[in-house]
Structure 1
Amino acid sequence: MRATILEDLPEIAGIVNDELREKVIQAWALSLRDSSFARISDIPGEGAPNHFVLKAGSQELHLRGVARLAVNTVDEFRRTFPHVEVDRDIVLAGALCHDIGKCWECDPANLERWQARPDRTGYPSLRHSVYGAHICLAAGLPEAIAHIALGHSMEGQHIKLSTECMIVRWADNTWWYSAATMGLCHPDSLGAAGPMMTPRPLM
């Protein structure tokens, strides 16, 4: 499993801190172990079940794209304002783990169970952001990474966000809204995108 995690998320190698890099791998292994997915690239490419659904490609494309957008943001501001204080490793690790809870929320077995009896389980029982924070803490990742897993999504509207979390949150939004407006998502999955969204047809 370690090999496929590194194959699907090669940006993990860019994490400078050895312990943090290893914990990211362990966290993904833990999340995958308790799911129906064999590897990250098996997870559907969607923001949440039936929302912002990619026409082609799976979850690793989103994770990698968000990671690159987030660290490029850090690098841009460091070049322009060298005195700013931002933890690049936390941003990169957080971006690579921000959707780690989708192993739970997007799992077909869980979706079937929740849809059958939402009165008993809820639907979903836990959103990927909440489950992701749990996985991060269970794997021994820093609190700052668990905060990003929780705060990048709707739950982040109810808490104060760290600088690193805010960078990942906006990179995540930028990726999905850019994908949607460029016609990469199924139109019927864009109800949450708002009235300004006008997807461009793919050539």
Structure 2
Amino acid sequence: MLREWAVQERRQTTYNEGSLFDGHGQRKYLTQSESRCLLALSTKDGRQTRMFCHLLYYTGCRCSEGLQITLRRLDPETGRIIFRTLKRRHTVFRAVRVPRPFLRELTAFAASLGLGPDDPLFPWCRQTAWRRIRKLMDRAGIEGPQATPKGFRHGFGCHGIGSGLPESLVGRLLGHANPNSTRVYTLVRDDEERALARRMW
């Protein structure tokens, strides 16, 4: 039984090590410079697209989770956005802290449209949201498997671990049920690796 567990553990580790790269070895996460470029470009797009782009960057939420955000899910008192975590058997909510100016902008935007407390801030289908973000990435010249809304999510995980956040906190912010899903981000520490590489060279 112990041997069987060890084989499963090796398989899981192998999968996790490769899960931030596609079958051709290309990364699936956005770097901080790519994310900043997208955020800068998004200021020239419509207000909703810009805010959705910032939502993905600040929270690492899944695209479908971001589309479920309503005025009721914004908590100005604590400076958090409440997400209903997807890919769970039972209903689970998580709170993710965001910059207060961004939270105020989301609240003001909802008020300007006269949205009710349960009306979605981004009334798009998943494909529309995907296309809007992909179009922005095309304009930024970002190509490859990272050029999707999920690239923000993977980038959030990498940046969180690279910034020294505890692995458990990053997992909670991303809504991971399995710690192995978070552990994969510990394998990518771009800034730390660059510093060590400079010392080696």
Q: TM-score, normalised by structure 2?
A: 0.28
Larger radius of gyration: 2
The higher-RCO structure (CA 8 Å, 6+ apart) is 2
Q: Greater helix percent: which structure?
A: 1
